[in-house]
């Protein structure tokens, strides 16, 4: 794919003509709500036509393969060139696409029950794992019931492995006290693990994701011991275990969100870890990029020193936020999809800007009541910058938070950048 940023007075027909594609292709790939009203600064993905190379005098096939970053073998096969490799000037060679790395892709989903079915059916082709969110633990080691069977069944139909998620927190409760009790009472832990195994078998999950957040710093070693107990028991039963980790930049990072998350211990114990590299632009905090690349790089720079790269999943949020200005403490931003962000910008005639440091689009607008707003969201450019990080750091996979927010450009670019590992699991 090519990423194009719309300029002033540019029409979709101009863009289609320039790239020699149809208007319909652009509309379909980007799911444009109003193709006649493109926004200045809006990013579009354009299907790239095959590349043709005209052979220059003296050029070798090896030099051409090096120039385009493709294998010599692929170059020979796609152009039907057989030994001896005689190459003539002005010959037209088709340049094959670069080999795409293979990664795992997980996605959390909290639209459960019947509403999960169309979401999973639409996105299943892009996923390796699906994680219904979530089984909430209590201080006695019990787990609440959730309506996850529809999501699980749909996952299997799409050849996606369902992953059970347990957590200690809710939107309104941090859950630190529950975590403290569970992590320091062996009898509660035994009961919890028994309940986990029962649900995994009953619902036919393939593995477990442990998402304990806001754990007291003094419970760090207790968390590590609990995790080892869980991993050993799950492995004995034939299940994998992953964990979700706050975005730390060093071992010494202070704060209740970070201190109890021991990157090295989790990297040693778990089969893989999900780095929650998002929420800098927190819904209760001041406006800023939700997933700024400059901050994410700091997390990755630290993570790869203590966790094997082939165990790290890059956390990617796929929603937008709208803050009222001036920001007041305690004020909650509105959360919605990237598609809604584009519609809102069009409605209020906003020009989309791009923060090159954070690698994130944003804009401001004034509503009907004369109030100023600031919106941060994701687009093709910011998505590509994140995919580039996954490749640059040679990470194992990507984990999306959370399905249910339409972002069509993301999924097209995901498939353009990677081959997604699918699991031959049957229900």
Q: Which two tokens stand for residue 87?
A: 């190459």
Closest listed residue to residue 211, CA positions, set 163, 184, 245: 245
Closest listed residue to residue 92, CA positions, set 103, 81, 100: 81
Q: What distance in Å separates the CA atoms of residue 15 and residue 12, rounded to the nearest whole number?
A: 5
Q: What distance in Å separates the CA atoms of residue 241 and residue 152, rounded to the nearest whole number?
A: 17
**Is the C-alpha dihedral spanning 35, 41, 42, 45 positive or negative?**
positive
Q: What distance in Å separates the CA atoms of residue 382 and residue 143, rounded to the nearest whole number?
A: 37
Q: Answer yes or no: are the C-beta atoms of 35 and 27 closer than 8 Å.
A: yes
Q: How many other C-beta atoms are found inside a 10 Å radius of the C-beta of residue 107?
A: 27
Check if 213 is active-site.
Answer: yes
Q: Answer yes or no: are the C-beta atoms of 141 and 182 closer than 8 Å.
A: yes
**Is the C-alpha dihedral spanning 194, 196, 200, 206 positive or negative?**
negative
Q: Answer yes or no: are the C-beta atoms of 261 and 269 closer than 8 Å.
A: no
Q: What distance in Å separates the CA atoms of residue 385 and residue 158, rounded to the nearest whole number?
A: 28
Q: Which two tokens stand for residue 196?
A: 């986990």
Closest listed residue to residue 335, CA positions, set 398, 383, 401: 401
- Which is catalytic among the residues 10, 25, 213, 374? 213
Q: CB pairs under 8 A, 24+ apart, for 220-228?
A: 220/259, 220/260, 220/261, 220/262, 222/183, 222/184, 223/179, 223/183, 223/260, 223/261, 223/262, 224/262, 224/265, 224/269, 225/183, 226/182, 226/183, 226/189, 227/265, 227/266, 227/269, 227/270, 228/269
> What contacts 415, CB < 8 A, 6 or more positions away?
126
Q: What distance in Å separates the CA atoms of residue 208 and residue 197, rounded to the nearest whole number?
A: 10
Do you know the residue count of the chain? Answer: 427
For 305, half-sphere exposure in the C-beta direction (CA atoms, 13 angstrom radius) is 10
Catalytic positions, written as ranges: 213
């Amino acid at each position: 794919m090519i990423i194009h940023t719309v300029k002033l007075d540019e029409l979709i027909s101009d863009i289609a003509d320039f790239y020699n594609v149809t208007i319909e292709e652009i509309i379909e790939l980007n799911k444009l709500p109003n193709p006649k009203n493109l926004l200045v600064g809006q990013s579009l993905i354009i299907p790239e036509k095959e590349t043709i190379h005209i052979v220059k005098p003296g050029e070798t096939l090896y030099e051409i393969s090096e120039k385009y970053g493709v294998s010599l073998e692929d170059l020979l096969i796609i152009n039907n060139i057989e030994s001896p490799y005689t190459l003539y000037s002005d010959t037209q060679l088709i340049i094959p696409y670069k080999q795409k790395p293979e990664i795992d892709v997980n996605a959390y989903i909290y639209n459960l029950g019947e509403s999960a079915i169309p979401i999973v059916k639409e996105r299943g082709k892009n996923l390796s794992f699906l994680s219904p969110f979530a089984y909430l633990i209590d201080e006695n080691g019990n787990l609440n019931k959730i309506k996850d069977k529809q999501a699980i069944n749909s996952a299997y139909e799409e050849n996606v492995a369902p992953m059970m998620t347990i957590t200690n927190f809710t939107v309104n409760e941090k859950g630190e006290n529950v975590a403290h009790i569970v992590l320091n009472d062996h009898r509660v832990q035994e009961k919890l693990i028994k309940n986990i195994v029962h649900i995994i078998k009953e619902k036919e999950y393939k593995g477990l994701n442990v998402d304990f957040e806001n754990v007291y710093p003094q419970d760090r070693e207790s968390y590590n011991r609990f995790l080892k107990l869980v991993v050993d028991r799950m492995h004995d039963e034939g299940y994998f275990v992953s964990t979700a980790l706050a975005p730390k930049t060093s071992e010494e990072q202070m704060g209740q969100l970070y201190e109890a998350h021991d990157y090295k211990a989790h990297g040693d114990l778990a089969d893989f870890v999900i780095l929650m590299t998002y929420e800098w632009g927190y819904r209760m905090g001041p406006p800023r990029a939700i997933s700024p690349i400059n901050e994410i790089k700091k997390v990755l720079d630290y993570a790869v020193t203590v966790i094997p790269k082939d165990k790290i999943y890059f956390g990617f949020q796929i929603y937008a936020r709208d803050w009222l200005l001036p920001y007041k403490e305690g004020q909650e931003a509105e959360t919605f999809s990237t598609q809604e962000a584009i519609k809102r910008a069009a409605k209020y005639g906003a020009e989309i800007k791009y923060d090159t440091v954070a690698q994130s689009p944003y804009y401001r607008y004034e509503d009907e009541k004369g109030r100023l707003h600031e919106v941060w969201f994701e687009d093709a450019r910011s998505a590509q910058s994140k995919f580039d990080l996954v490749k640059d750091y040679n990470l194992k996979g990507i984990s999306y938070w959370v399905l249910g927010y339409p972002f069509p450009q993301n999924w097209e670019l995901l498939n353009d950048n990677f081959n997604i590992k699918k699991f031959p699991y049957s229900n």
